[in-house]
Chain A
Amino acid sequence: MIPDHLTIQGMPLATVYTGMKDRNVADSTAKLSAAHVTIAGSGGLGTNIALALTRIGVGHLTLIDFDVVELSNLNRQQFKFSQVGMPKVVAMKQNLQEINPFVTVEAIQERVTRDNVYDLFHSADIIAEAFDNPAAKALLLDTASAVLPETPLVMGTGMAGVHSSNTIKTANPRPNLYIAGDGVSKGTEGLMAPRVMITAGHEANIITQLILGINDL
């Protein structure tokens, strides 16, 4: 446990830790804090998934993205105006640690290829796919199902436009595979925070269920 003499911003560390868990569901803290989720992509999906998992206290997050923050990201991605130009994973690590200093965040600025999937993802309990590019999504499923078949993979597809919230669902098309989204709306029609956050919420919720051993799709 956390020693009593350690403090953060003048408060005992243990008080802060316990206080931050106070509204979490019963008996979730130990499982959440032991879990490691690796998030592929730090865009609209990835930053919102990371934010949700950080707030509930998922203990170990790995963020992977090769890109830098652009102005066009700010309508839906959890970056600040002041972070434009920074590597996305570096900026997001900073934001997550400001929100919850008890979460360990590893930032990897790299592009996912067929050749590095095992190295990048084998330490994860759960993989969250959060790419923009549909070919990258298919590549990750195709490769991870071969090299890491036992690791649950949670994906997103179809969250564009301003269509109904209720067309966004989570499917479980095969063992260890969950896909959230409406399945059809394409980014070319525009992407905005509300529907992207709904889909990210779907991904984050199934990840939470998987960590807690709840099977309630």
Chain B
Amino acid sequence: MSEVTTSRRAFIGISATAAAATAGFVALAPGVKLMDLAQAHADSKGASSKVRWGMLIDTTKCATGCSDCVSACARENAIEPGSGRPAQSSQWIRKIELKEKKGGHRELSLPMLCQHCANPPCVDVCPTGASFQRADGIVLVDRHICIGCRYCVMACPYQARSFVHEPLHNQNPEVPRGQGCVESCTLCVHRVDKGESPACVESCTHQAMLFGDLNNPQSEIAQRVATVASSQIRADLRLDPGVRYQGI
């Protein structure tokens, strides 16, 4: 009997200590919470639905054989070639070379990346909601709840998603990635939130890539989209991609 009593007392004691510790974790002093201190960006405004980030790519300026945007993306997001087959490595942006089937005279070169659709099929099919869209239109993967089912890779019409096939090393702390999860171009959201442009856009020496807010009539991108002919890839699917192409 006494043993039971002792262990019960011990249990209550431990529980009380744990409760106190939890309370201490939550509230250090009236109005000062440990959680608040832990938030790196407590004052972050978050994404605004008034903004629609997008890109305009001028294929008449994009040079065949140039892959500066691809290299810049890899550097910025610490994407290294994997140890397996090339098709097992992640490619957030790739250069596609096009040749018209009939005639064959028309040749184009352009970068292909996540199109940050307004109606993204990857978000629709994701069972856990890991694929999501920010209010400003950027489509991202929540690496904490991605279970690696790859349904979004199946659903993306642009083949813009990659599955991480092996352990990763030398990651950029601002761009967390993870083995067994799916990933794609984040539009360099970590840079955009600091007021910078995506790394690929900044690296393009041919000025073929323009980044900005499609919703802001004063922005260069909105004005260019309003004045020059541009198109969306697979516009027939009506996904309303945020990336537009000029000269196709």
User: Do these two chains really belong together in a complex?
Assistant: no
Q: Which A residues contact B (CB, under 8 angstroms)?
A: none
